[in-house]
């Protein structure tokens, strides 16, 4: 299981990257894509929509299962990755890079203290 | 993310088939299903279902209940229980039937394999096995012995256009002589077995039924012959593509066979059987207003069980089973909908608050390629 150290993780298997420009990228983890299996459908919000911390912002689906996407923080969607919408298996192939899902700009500095670092997330999913 | 819940559920009280260790060794993802720990997928649902359509897939269906009924008068006694006419089923043939409840709803759908003049093997849904057995035990006369095979049962479905080629080397019998619903007691790998032509995928194939101790060798030799191991996920996708109903989804205690789209399996003219009067009374009371229909999505969103179906903004029904079809690369569903909606009508499926158009289509969605007598002559 690949777990990049520069990211933070949710218990529901999303990751967050602080882009350093006031935006945060969000995707699903390697563990999540592997558990879900071949992803065949990705549904994401529109640019400009608001997402709420712990709220759902879309789905990734395999043939048989629906995985709801939970936002780790509140803010406005400033960019949506069209690539996995067009080519859902990109999320399986590259969950942390090409398969990122949305970028969110929070109104204020978000409280990310409830998220896990890579080491804790890896331990959480190994248990 | 909401994923398969296998980790969070205690599985200690669940049963395992004799193939369980092989499934785990092959990397099968194990989930609880109807009291059993069963593989939901191996390489992936899409790859597995495509393997069945283009080659050969193997399914462990050893969780399904097997009931052995024999004794003088067993055929007429069973015929007084089941919905279809089993007195017209010849030795060496199999037949689908329903067990109706006393209000004319469907308690289970079952397959009966007539192995001898006074001998039947009945295969029932795992979740209904205990109650089916209890009903039959209550209704069958003392001249009939009913034995469940739960402790020793095994069943493997070999499905797809290469099924005959891959199963044949294990068999003494000439499989090419069998057509859909034929059943033979024979030897497979030198061990006593029952082999039937059929399955639950809409593709050609066979079912092997035998002893639990024999199943791992049969499974392994079929894998070595080129068959792809498949889980219950692919099985569900394939039966949906074939437009076949599944108990608990299209079939249930509250719906009549007419509503569930299986009235072909009800033969009231044959005489009395369980649930017959109630069903006839319900038929006399009103026309069937709703029935299971096929839906094909016009966009990319995937319909799932429970999603509302609307027409002109008003809900007219709900999805009972839905999936992406790997064979057709489009979302398909079976849904309980008004019976009078014409084919090609466009309706909406409500998916996460948005309406997605879908068309009413005839089923099967994927044409069946079973080897019927007509197709083989």
Distance CA B370, CA B376 (A): 10
Average pLDDT over residues A96-111: 96
Q: Are B49 and A14 in contact (CB < 8 Å)?
A: no
Residue B5's pLDDT band, with cuts at 50, 70 and 90, is very low
CB B88 within 8 A of CB B63: no
Q: Are B352 and A12 in contact (CB < 8 Å)?
A: no
Residues in chain A: 127
- Any idea what DSSP says for residue B128? G
R_g of chain B computed on alpha carbons: 21
Q: What is the pLDDT of residues B193-250, one digit of tens each?
A: 999 999 999 999 999 999 999 999 999 999 999 999 999 999 999 999 999 999 999 9
Helix (H) and strand (E) counts for chain B? 9, 19
Q: Which residues pair with A41 in a beta bridge?
A: A61
Helix axis angle, B45-54 to B232-241, nearest 10°: 60
Residue whose entry in the numeric block shows the structure tokens 């158009």:
B357
**Chain A neighbours among B 333-372 (CB < 8 Å)?**
352
Distance CA B200, CA B193 (A): 20
Distance CA B129, CA B68 (A): 12
> What are φ and ψ of residue B308, in 5° steps?
-75, 145
Q: What is the pLDDT of residues B108-167, one digit of tens each?
A: 999 999 999 999 999 999 999 999 999 999 999 999 999 999 889 999 999 999 999 999
Q: What is the pLDDT of residues B74-118, one digit of tens each?
A: 999 999 999 999 999 999 999 999 999 999 999 999 999 999 999
CB B122 within 8 A of CB B75: no
Mutate to test the interface with B, among A34, A36, A37, A82 (most CBs of B within 10 A): A37
Confidence (pTM): 0.94
Burial group, residue B77, by CB count within 10 angstroms (0-12, 13-18, 19+) = buried
Q: Which residues of A touch B300 (CB under 8 A)?
A: 41
Strands (E), A2-121: 8-9, 14-18, 24-28, 39-43, 50-51, 56-62, 66-70, 75-80, 102-105
**Token pair in block for residue B323:** 């999936």
């Amino acid at each position: 299981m690949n777990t990049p150290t520069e990211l933070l993780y949710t218990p529901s298997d999303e990751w967050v990257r602080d882009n350093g420009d006031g935006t945060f990228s969000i995707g699903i983890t390697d563990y999540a894509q592997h558990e879900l299996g071949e992803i065949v459908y990705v549904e994401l919000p529109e640019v400009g929509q608001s997402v709420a911390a712990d709220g759902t912002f879309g789905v990734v689906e395999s043939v048989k299962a629906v995985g709801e996407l939970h936002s780790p923080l509140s803010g406005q969607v400033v960019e949506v990755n069209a690539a996995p919408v067009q080519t859902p298996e990109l999320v399986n192939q590259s969950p942390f890079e090409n398969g990122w899902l949305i970028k969110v700009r929070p109104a204020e500095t978000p409280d990310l203290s409830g998220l896990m670092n890579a080491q804790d997330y890896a331990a959480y999913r190994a248990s | 993310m909401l994923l398969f819940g296998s980790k969070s559920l205690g599985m200690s009280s669940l049963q395992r088939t004799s193939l369980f260790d092989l499934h785990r060794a092959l990397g099968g993802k194990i989930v609880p299903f109807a009291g059993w720990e069963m593989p939901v997928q191996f390489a992936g649902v899409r790859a597995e279902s495509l393997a069945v359509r283009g080659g050969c897939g193997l399914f462990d269906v050893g969780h399904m209940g097997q009931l052995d009924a024999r004794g003088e008068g067993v055929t007429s006694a069973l015929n007084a229980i089941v919905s279809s006419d089993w007195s017209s089923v010849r030795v060496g043939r199999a037949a689908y039937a329903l067990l109706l409840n006393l209000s004319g709803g469907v308690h289970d759908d079952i397959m009966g394999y007539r192995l001898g003049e006074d001998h039947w093997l009945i295969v029932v849904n795992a979740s209904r096995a205990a109650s089916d057995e209890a009903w039959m035990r209550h209704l069958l006369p003392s001249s009939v012995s009913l034995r469940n095979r739960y402790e020793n049962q095994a069943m493997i479905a070999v499905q797809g256009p290469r099924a005959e080629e891959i199963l044949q080397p294990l068999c003494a019998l000439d499989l090419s002589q069998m057509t859909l619903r034929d059943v033979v007691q024979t030897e497979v790998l030198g061990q006593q077995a029952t082999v039937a032509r059929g399955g639950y995928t809409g593709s050609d194939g066979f079912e092997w039924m035998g002893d639990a101790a024999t199943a791992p060798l049969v499974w392994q030799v079929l894998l070595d012959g080129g068959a792809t191991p498949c889980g219950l996920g692919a099985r569900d996708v394939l039966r949906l593509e074939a437009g076949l109903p599944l108990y608990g989804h299209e079939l249930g205690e509250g719906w009549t066979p007419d509503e569930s789209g299986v009235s072909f399996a009800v033969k009231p003219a044959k005489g009395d059987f369980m649930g017959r009067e109630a069903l006839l009374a319900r038929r006399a009371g009103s026309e069937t207003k709703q029935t299971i229909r096929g839906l094909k999505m016009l966009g990319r969103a995937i319909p799932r069980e429970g999603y509302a179906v609307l027409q002109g903004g008003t809900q007219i029904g709900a999805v009972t089973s839905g999936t992406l079809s790997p064979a057709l690369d489009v979302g398909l569903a079976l849904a309980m909908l008004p019976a009078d909606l014409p084919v090609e009508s466009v309706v909406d499926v409500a998916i996460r608050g948005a309406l997605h158009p879908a068309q009413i289509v005839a089923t099967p969605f994927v044409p069946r390629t079973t080897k019927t007598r007509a197709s083989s002559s």
